[in-house]
Amino acid sequence: MFDLKIDDKVAWVTGGSRGIGKSICLALAEAGCDVAVSYRSKKEEADEVVSAIEAKGRKAIAVQVDVSSVEQCEAAYAKVKENLGTADVLVNSAGVIADNLFFMIPEEDWKKVLDVNIMGTVHACRLVIRDMMSKRWGRIINLSSVAATRGGRGQANYAASKGAIEAMTRSMAAEIGRRGITVNCIAPGVIETDMSQEVIKLAKDDILGLQIIKRFGSPEEIAAWSVMLASDYGGFMTGQVLHVDGGMKMA
C-alpha cells in the first residue's frame, strides 16, 4: 500500500561512509536514488559503500570533503553534479564530537565542533538550494541529536551545535517551503555505531536508565525515517524535529 520508492532522484549524503550516514546511503539507494557518498578521510570505507549501492543497481560516487571548508564543499558538489546530476535529496550526516566538561573545553574544540556540525550543514544546504528551487522539489534532512534538548554532562559544544541546526532547520523551512522543498531534522538518541561505542562502554546503564525503551538504536532505524522524509510521503512535513531516541527526551 505504501510505496516509498524515490526513483531516479539524486541524493547527496555527507558523512556517508560509516555509521548512520552509511545506512542512510544504502537505504536511499534501495529506495531508488543514485547516491553521492561524502567522506572526510577513509576512502576505502566510502568505496565499499559505493560498491554496495552499485550492487543494488544504482549509480554512486565517493566524494572526499571536509565539510567545514566552503571551498571543499563547492568542489564536492561540483563533482556530484558532474557525475550524477543536481541533488534532489541532501542529508547532512557529517558531524564530530569533542566531549569535555564545559570549563575544560579548549577553544579549538569549540571551533572544530561548530565548524563541522553547523557550518558544514550551512555550506551543503546553500549549495543545493538553488538547484532545488529551480526544480521546485527538494528534501533536506539534517541530523541533530537528543543532546540538543536533553542536557548531558560533557557535551556543551556538541549540544550547542545541534540546537543551532534545529533552529536553522525551522528558519530554512519557512523560507523555501513554497518552492516545494521540505527541511526537517532527525534527532537520534544513542545509536550503536563506531563513534558511540566508547560512550556505551563507559555509561551503558546510565544511558539506558534515561530511556523508556531499554536498548540502543540501530543505524537502520534512522535510515528508515530518512527514506520516509525523502519520499513523497514526506511532502507535507517540514520544519520538524523527529526524535528517534528510545524515549530519552520524554523520560
Judge whether 39 counts as a catalytic residue: no
Q: What is the identity of the amino acid at 207? A: I
pLDDT value of residue 59? 98
More confident residue, 81 or 154: 81
152-211 per-position pLDDT tens digit:
889 999 999 999 999 999 999 999 999 999 999 999 998 988 777 777 877 788 888 888
Among 39, 77, 158, 233, which one carries the catalytic annotation? 158
30-40 per-position pLDDT tens digit:
999 999 999 99
Sheet holding 10-14, edge to edge: 60-64, 34-39, 10-14, 89-92, 138-143, 181-188, 241-244
pLDDT value of residue 228? 97
Site of grid cell 566531549: 99
CA dist 124 and 132 (Å) reads 12
Q: Which fold has domain 10-187+220-242?
A: Rossmann fold (3.40.50)
> Over 70: is that where the pLDDT of 126 sits?
yes
> Long-range contacts of range 106-112, CB-CB < 8 Å, 24 or more positions apart?
109/157, 110/157, 112/68
Answer yes or no: pTM beyond 0.85.
yes
- Interior/surface letters 193-221, b for 16+ CB within 10 angstroms, e for the rest: beebeebeeeeeeebbebbeeeebbebee
Q: Cβ distance 119 to 69 under 8 Å?
A: no
Residue 195 makes CB contacts below 8 A (sequence gap 6+) with 19, 97
